[in-house]
Each structure stands twice: as structure tokens, then as C-alpha cells.
Structure 1
Amino acid sequence: MKIEYDAGTALSIMRANPARGWTSGKPERMAKERLTTGDFLKVEHRPKFQIDPSWPIFTMGSCFAREVENILMMRGLPLLLRGHGVPAEHFESWNEESGRGGGANRGELSRGALNKYSVRSMAHELKRVLLGESYPDEGLIELSPGQWFDPHASGLRLLSREEAFANRQRLTTATATIKDARICFFTLGLTETWLDSQTGLAMNIHPGPSWLAKMPERFRFVDYGYDATLSDMLEIIGLIREHCNPEMRFIVTVSPVPLGATFKEADVIVANSGSKSVLRAVAEELYRRFDFVDYFPSYEIVLNSPRAMAFEDDQLHVAREMVAQVMTTFQASYLGAPAQPQAA
């Protein structure tokens, strides 16, 4: 959708925008100056709407979405996924000695399994909840006798049928909380996706290189482009407004967390740039089309802050201090006065 004004309107908008210039304007507002302070980038964001602090929030997306949730909960906002998740001991990262895994302690539930990396996998999860779509064995795959894999979860080890199916119910129940939401916060993660050709499901994650090699006909790699990704997001928004709150508002952002590895014949840095560019373009189109969809620039804030401050040592995960800075901007934009911190 194009944006078009007459010259007078365009000049008026430009003159009223204090952050319009890369090398012109007040020094503290110039992009050149803000990009070279050596500190976290400050972005002037003008939201389309404000959030009532009492509105229940539903979040969906990549691991960056989980970091956002932690900050929202600490600041006292009603996060619908609070208290939902999968037992920490079911994660691949489970450490018996420390009694910790999936970002949680023994006996606790971790939201890490809720990570959704591609838009197509988000769409399948929501159709399961909102349209009652069903799949053989709930979409789970028995990779070896008694060892079950959930391609719509994230970070879980192979589990017994009983454990895997119980977790699938936990995750479906968590997703169903979207029916009580007033605001949806979507974090778009990547475009590279794997399909299970037997069920037709776009998997959230693949089962690992060894299983891909053992079952080459069952699993297929797809890198979704702009048209397919936009179509999926339009379908998601339509489903939610039809089957949840018809006045639902959406905040869309793009995860700054890069691809861990690419399956394309490209340098991972180049492949990541292509993937994020598609997602950013889709987010921009949604922003242009709908007055109830806003784009929040967490991607730009992180990527244009000093990398040594913005990312952890692995250069993959966003540093907690950076997430807090992003959410300070979010809160100032959408909530006005700061919320009172609460225990997560």
C-alpha cells in the first residue's frame, strides 16, 4: 500500500518531525549524532494508539518475545502467558546438577517452549486453537520407538508419548489465552522453515540434522518470501479479529536475534539480512494498511546500538540491558507513566 501526499502536506509533515534529518536539525535529534553517542540508540516512536494498563496482553514470536514478556511482567502488566509453559526438566538444556533448564528451575514451568520462529508456524498454532484444526498424533512425530518430538514446540528433548502429549496440551492451552486478549504483540523471527510433508505442518523447529538425514523424504526446507509471509500475517490478523476480540489491536516488531545457521547457499550474515528484510517489509505493509496495527522499532533500536552492548558474547542473543532499554521506549510510547515494578 503506497503512501501519497500533495507537496504542501508532505512539507508540513516533514517540518513537524523533529527526528526527520540524518545530518540536519537539532544535534540531539540528528540520526548522525544519535548513532555515534556510544550508548543505546534512542528512537522517537509515535504510536498509533495507547494501551490501557489493564488490557490483557498476548505475545507470540521468537525468543526475543520471551524477553519482552519478562519485562512486561516485572512492570506489572497483565500478561496472559504468565504461569504457562512446560516443565523445565523436559528441555534439552536441562542440567541435572544445577536443576535448571529452559530458563527455569526444577518443578517450574518455562515459557521457552512457546517460541515461534516463522509466521507459517504461528498460523498453524493459531488455527489449531481458533479453528479446531487437528492433525494425526496432534502433529507430534515418533522419531524412534517411544521417543516423541513436537515440531511446534521449541527446545524440548525427545519425550515419552505421555509426556510429549501432556506438553502439547499445555502449549495449546497457553495459546488459547489469546481469546482473552485485548492487545497482541507479535515478534517476527525468521523466514526459513521446515515442513513435515506427512502432516502438511510448517514446523517451528526441525528435529536435528541426523533425523533430517534419516528421513529426507518426510522433511522439506522452505524459505518463505514476502508474498507468502504477508498472506500468512493477513490470515492470522483476520482469524484473531473474527474468533477473539473484534477490536483487537496489534503491535508487530521484528526480532533482532539473527539466524543461528542458514540452510541456503549464502553467508549466514547475508541470509539473515534477507530474512529480516522480508519480515520488516511485511511489518511495514501491515502498519500501512490497518489503523489497529502498529509497528514498534525494537529491531532498529537493537541493531543500531553498539553491538558490544546490545548482544551477549555469542553475538546471537540480545543482552538483558538492551531488552530493558527497548521496553523503556515501549512503555514511554504506549503507556505514558511508568508502571509499578512487580515480581515476575
Structure 2
Amino acid sequence: MPIRRISAADAYGTLRANPDSNWPRRDDPANRFAHFADPSFKPRFTLEPGQRIFTIGSCFARGIERTLADRGFDIPTLALKVDKTGWSGDPTTILNNYVPPAIAPQIRWAFGLEEFDIDRHAIEVAPGRYIDPQLTLGFRPVAAEALVGRRNDISAIYRNLASSHVVLITLGLIEAWFDNRSGLYINCPPPKGIVRTDPSRFELHVLDYADVTRSLADLVDLLDRVCPPGHRIILTVSPVPLQATFTSSDVAVANAYSKAVLRAAVEPFVADRAHIEYFPSYESVVLTDRSIAFVDDQVHIQTSMVRFNVDRMINRYVETGDDTIANVIARAREDGAAGRFQAGLKRLQQAWTSHPGNPDLAIALARAHLRAGNGAAAESLLLALLETHESVPGRTLLARHYNESGRHEEAALQAEKACEHGKAMLDPSLQRVEAYYHLGRFEEGFVVLDRIRWPLERKSLLLHWKARYCERLGRLEDAEAFLRECNGLVENALYMAAFAEFLAKQDRWPEAAEWVDRALLHDPNEKTGLRLRAEIRKARLPSRQAGVATADAATPLERAARWSTALIRRAVGKA
């Protein structure tokens, strides 16, 4: 039976009206899947800071609730205090619910619709010592009174549903353990010892679509009974995959089935019930490169990814009114400064869809794309801007992109055009200098350097470039003087390594080794310094001393290698 029936005319009308009905090109400046994926959605209601939001679900829900609290929402689940004498795991995970049918019983116990019975619902693992299988792994066996007390504390938290404006439910998985004694699904695998002593009590159910929709219908009806009138429900599917599967399938295959069933089961409720919406956090995570979406265990989600999804949910659900382009750009800068770079990029993309062609917004969005490694999108954006607006920042940014991509002819052209509007402007002149250097236009580049008005804080960069140009022009004494002055102004590993390379080319290895050590002490990963260190240690040069070398004589390179190693040992306190 279809969950929606749409006439042909309406279907084609929706296709035309939906700006996100097709996949964007990778080089589209507004590509909503660039870096962190941002599939669109259209909320039917709004949220207000200070509202009470009750979160139910897996560990992804725990990450969401902490971020929501930071944004000014009232999150009652954070008020639970955990007695660690009976709980060895992360205290925040004690409320985790992984399988849909295990959620409703906790609400029924909280509101007195059913009674928690320790003989039926708990597991006695030793005489007088019990565990609660409705909790996740991390429990310690406790006395009956302690277990009932903890269950009462959890029920008190669930009773906050009676005053919650919004219920956010994150569905986790469908490999569900069923307790034949209680007739309920539980939230964790039964202990192996209990399985051996009572093998008929528990069994694993791999749920299907009908199982999940039936449990969701029960849950939604229950929430309609206990929540206040006018409450809203936001459903989402946890992107956190199965850590392991109890079936014979590859965990990736089992997880794909699990998430597909959960995602499909949600859609009829969104289609049929006006107070229920789906938030696509699952799609956002799984459509993002796994190397930036997941931590190293390939299971849990990066904090930045969770924060990004909460930010985009709040940005859609919370009314902010019309905003100026300047404010959007300023907030995107604030996002970047606070480590929420992806949120800033998406903020700019959303503004761009409403204000395409705005020059300031184009520049800000191009910068964000370049930072994200989306050079093609930034180039497309800047070229389109320059067709209609003359922009020195736009040409300078494009020249920088071309220089970084090795396209120095194009970089020189853009930098020259930018400099026509201010011959001594720092940034476009710098891109021009870099392009000319790689193109071998050394005389022209040095003239540009002499004409630039450099601020004092950038003088070291000026000296560095002058040294590079003088070296290529054969003015070695001038080059050395500029390098020494540059390194006397600032302590920068790049400049130190450049001086070391210059000295090595003059076969002045002991001096070069000293500057290699200085560079690597400041930055152990400096590439030029590491390359020169390898040459010092591995190369074998003949002695430059006259006559035949004695047994104790060493080549300059060997002396430099010994001296370099001794310097490092002294620096780290090993000598």
C-alpha cells in the first residue's frame, strides 16, 4: 500500500518546484554534499530556545542532547545522577535505547501504566545480585533494592515527558534480544553465564519492517497519552553502525539491512501524522567521507560531525528572521574561529541559494570552499563573479588557488589584473611574485618586490622572497644577507630550513646542519629540514682537505652529521 498518492500533474509540479530534486555537480558552489553533507529538509514547526526537549535513543542521541543544552534548550535527561557503585560504564549511556520495541516499556513503568517486576524484568546473576537488561552494557550486579532504586530514578527522568514540548527519538538497530520470561525486548545481550544456565530464556530476533512499524505505532500512541497537547516528535536514524553482528553476515551487510529497515519504517509516520517529522542526520553522516565523519574505531561519530548536525537542525527549526549578508559572513567567521568550520561553510551556502551573485558572499564562500579543498567549486564561483564584477579580492583569491595548483601562468594573469587597481597592494603582489618565481621571470619579480609597500609584521616574508630571487639571479651574497636578516626577525621553521638549503647548495654543510636542527626543533615535520637531515646522514662525500685523509679525518658531511645528532641530543636532554 503506498504511503503517498500524488497525481501526475502534482508530481511534475513538485519536481519543478523542488530545488534539491537532483544531485548537484561536485563543482557547484552550492553543492550541499561538499565536505560535510547537508541534505535539505523543510520543518513544519519551529523550536524556541528554552523549550524542553526529551531525547530518546542510542549514543548519537547522547551527543545531540549535550549540544542542544549548549544551545540553550532544556534537556531533562542530563539531570540523571548515576551511582557508579552499580555502573561501570560511561554515566551518560545509562539511558541509551538501541532497539525500537525496548523504548515503550520504560515509559509505561515511569507513568505507572505497568509495574516493574524484578523477578520478571531483571536477571539474577548470583544469589541476591541482579542486573537490569533494559540498561546498556556497563552495569554491575547489585542488590534488589539498589536496582529498584535506580529504576525509580530513571522513571523520574522519563516522567519529564509530561512537560516536554518536543521528543527527539534516534532509532539504533534491529538485532534485538527478546526475553521470553518478561515478554519484552531488552537493550543489551544477555550475559553468557545466564545463557548457559537458562538457555531458553533469551533469543535473538532480527526485526523486519512490520516489527519496527508496529513498535513505532505503539510508541507514538503512548507518547500521545503522556506528552502535553501540541507536542512534536522528531524521528531520526542513528548513523552509528552495528559494532558487531550476531548473524553470519559481514557487519557492513548486516548494518545496511538494519539502517534500511529503520529508515523505511519511519517514513509512513512522517507521511501520515502532521506532528511527526524526520531529521536526516543519518543521511548527513553516511554521505560524508568516512575519514572525516567517523573516529578511528569506524563506529562512533566525530564530535564536529554531531555538532554540525545539531547546528543545522537548530538553524532550520529556530526562526532567526531575515539577516544581512554581512551578518551571515560574520557568523561564518565566528563558526570557523570556534572550530565549527563546516557549519560556517553550510551557512554561507544557504545564504548563496537566496542571494546568488552577491560579490561579498561569493568571496566568502570561495574562501570556505578553498579551505575545504573544493578548488573546482571555488574557481567556478570566482570566474562567474569576475564576469560581472571587477574584484581585486576575487582575482587575488583566484591567483592564490592557481599558484597552489601549479597553474602559474593563470596565477600571473589574475595577479597582474588585480595589481592594475593598486600596483603596491600586498596580497595580489605576493601572488604575482610567487607566479613569476615559478615561471622564471626573476628580473620582473624582483622589481615587483621592490615596489611593494610591506607592513612591518610582514617584512620577514619580503626578505624571504628577496633571498629566493637573489639566489636565482646569482646574487648569492645578497641572498645570504636577506636570509640572515629574515631569520633574525622571526623564528620560523620554514625560513630556517630555506637558509639550511641555501647553505647546503654552497657545500657549507656544518652551517647547514645547524640550521636544519633549528628548523626541526621548531617543527619536527618540516619537509625541507627532514630531507636535508636524510642527505646529511646518508650521503657520502669525499674529503675536501688537501692530501690523503687520515684515519681520524672526517668529511665535512660526516662532521655535520655527528654535530647535528649531538645538538638534538642536547636539546632533548639525552647528552
Instruction: State the TM bucket, normalised to the shorter chain.
Output: 0.7 to 0.9
- C-alpha distance in structure 1 between counterparts of 2:190 and 2:142, whole Å: 15
Report if aligned partners of 1:57, 1:78 keep a CA contact under 8 Å in 2.
yes
**Which amino acid is 2:124 matched to?**
E
Which residue, out of 121, 136, 160, partners 2:102?
Answer: 121
Deviations 1:242-286 (A, max 9, x none): 232132210000000111111222111111111111100111111
Which residue, out of 311, 324, 331, partners 2:307?
Answer: 324
Pair 1:52 & 2:48 matched:
yes
Deviations 1:8-66 (A, max 9, x none): 3222222221111125799245xxx544x3x1112222112112333211110111110
Match of 2:295 in 1: 312
- C-alpha distance in structure 1 between counterparts of 2:24 and 2:50, whole Å: 41
Match of 2:433 in 1: none
- C-alpha distance in structure 2 between counterparts of 1:176 and 1:154, whole Å: 20
Q: Which one is further off, 160-169 or 260-269?
A: 160-169
Pair 1:140 & 2:122 matched:
yes
- C-alpha distance in structure 2 between counterparts of 1:72 and 1:214, whole Å: 44
The offset of 1:149, in angstroms, is 0.8
Match of 1:40 in 2: 36
Pair 1:150 & 2:132 matched:
yes
Report if aligned partners of 1:85, 1:112 keep a CA contact under 8 Å in 2.
no
Report if aligned partners of 1:130, 1:239 keep a CA contact under 8 Å in 2.
no
Match of 1:211 in 2: 194
Which residue, out of 270, 280, 284, partners 2:263?
Answer: 280
More helix by share: 2
Match of 2:246 in 1: 263
The offset of 1:328, in angstroms, is 1.1
- C-alpha distance in structure 2 between counterparts of 1:243 and 1:44, whole Å: 31
Match of 1:296 in 2: 279
User: What SS does structure 1 have at the residue aligned with 2:78?
Assistant: coil
The offset of 1:131, in angstroms, is 4.8
Pair 1:185 & 2:168 matched:
yes
The offset of 1:166, in angstroms, is 2.0
Q: Which one is further off, 156-165 or 262-271?
A: 156-165
- C-alpha distance in structure 1 between counterparts of 2:206 and 2:198, whole Å: 19
- C-alpha distance in structure 1 between counterparts of 2:32 and 2:164, whole Å: 36
- C-alpha distance in structure 2 between counterparts of 1:70 and 1:19, whole Å: 31
Report if aligned partners of 2:269, 2:276 keep a CA contact under 8 Å in 1.
yes
Pair 1:13 & 2:9 matched:
no
Structure 1, unaligned runs of 5 or more: 94-101, 103-109, 339-344
Match of 1:234 in 2: 217
Deviations 1:182-226 (A, max 9, x none): 110000001111122112221111233343333311111112211
The offset of 1:303, in angstroms, is 0.5
Q: Percent identity?
A: 31
Match of 2:59 in 1: 63
Task: Spell out the pairing of 1:102-117 with structure 2 (5 A cutoff).
Answer: 102=90, 110-117=91-98
Matched residue pairs, number?
318
The offset of 1:170, in angstroms, is 1.2
- C-alpha distance in structure 1 between counterparts of 2:140 and 2:25, whole Å: 57
Cα distance change, pair 328–275 in 1 and its aligned pair in 2 (3 A): same
Report if aligned partners of 1:85, 1:114 keep a CA contact under 8 Å in 2.
no
**Which amino acid is 2:106 matched to?**
E
Match of 1:105 in 2: none
Pair 1:3 & 2:4 matched:
yes
**Which amino acid is 1:144 matched to?**
A
Report if aligned partners of 1:85, 1:113 keep a CA contact under 8 Å in 2.
no
Deviations 1:50-97 (A, max 9, x none): 12333211110111110000000111111122311423453334xxxx
- C-alpha distance in structure 2 between counterparts of 1:128 and 1:307, whole Å: 39
The offset of 1:129, in angstroms, is 2.2
- C-alpha distance in structure 1 between counterparts of 2:282 and 2:220, whole Å: 21
- C-alpha distance in structure 2 between counterparts of 1:24 and 1:312, whole Å: 28
Match of 1:107 in 2: none
Report if aligned partners of 2:242, 2:251 keep a CA contact under 8 Å in 1.
yes
Report if aligned partners of 2:58, 2:96 keep a CA contact under 8 Å in 1.
yes
**Which amino acid is 1:53 matched to?**
P
User: What SS does structure 2 have at the residue aligned with 1:60?
Assistant: strand
The offset of 1:3, in angstroms, is 2.1
Match of 1:130 in 2: 111
The offset of 1:233, in angstroms, is 0.8
Cα distance change, pair 25–153 in 1 and its aligned pair in 2 (3 A): closer
Structure 2, unaligned runs of 5 or more: 322-575
Answer with 1 or 2: which has the greater Rg: 2
Pair 1:201 & 2:184 matched:
yes
- C-alpha distance in structure 1 between counterparts of 2:237 and 2:272, whole Å: 17
Cα distance change, pair 41–278 in 1 and its aligned pair in 2 (3 A): same
Deviations 1:297-332 (A, max 9, x none): 000000111101111110011110100111111011
- C-alpha distance in structure 1 between counterparts of 2:26 and 2:96, whole Å: 41
The offset of 1:292, in angstroms, is 0.6
- C-alpha distance in structure 2 between counterparts of 1:26 and 1:321, whole Å: 24
Report if aligned partners of 1:181, 1:248 keep a CA contact under 8 Å in 2.
yes
User: What SS does structure 1 have at the residue aligned with 2:79?
Assistant: coil
User: What SS does structure 1 have at the residue aligned with 2:135?
Assistant: coil
User: What SS does structure 2 have at the residue aligned with 1:166?
Assistant: helix
RMSD: 2.1
**Which amino acid is 1:13 matched to?**
T
- C-alpha distance in structure 2 between counterparts of 1:68 and 1:60, whole Å: 10
Task: Give the structure, 1 or 2, with the largest relative contact order (CA under 8 Å, sep 6 or more).
Answer: 1
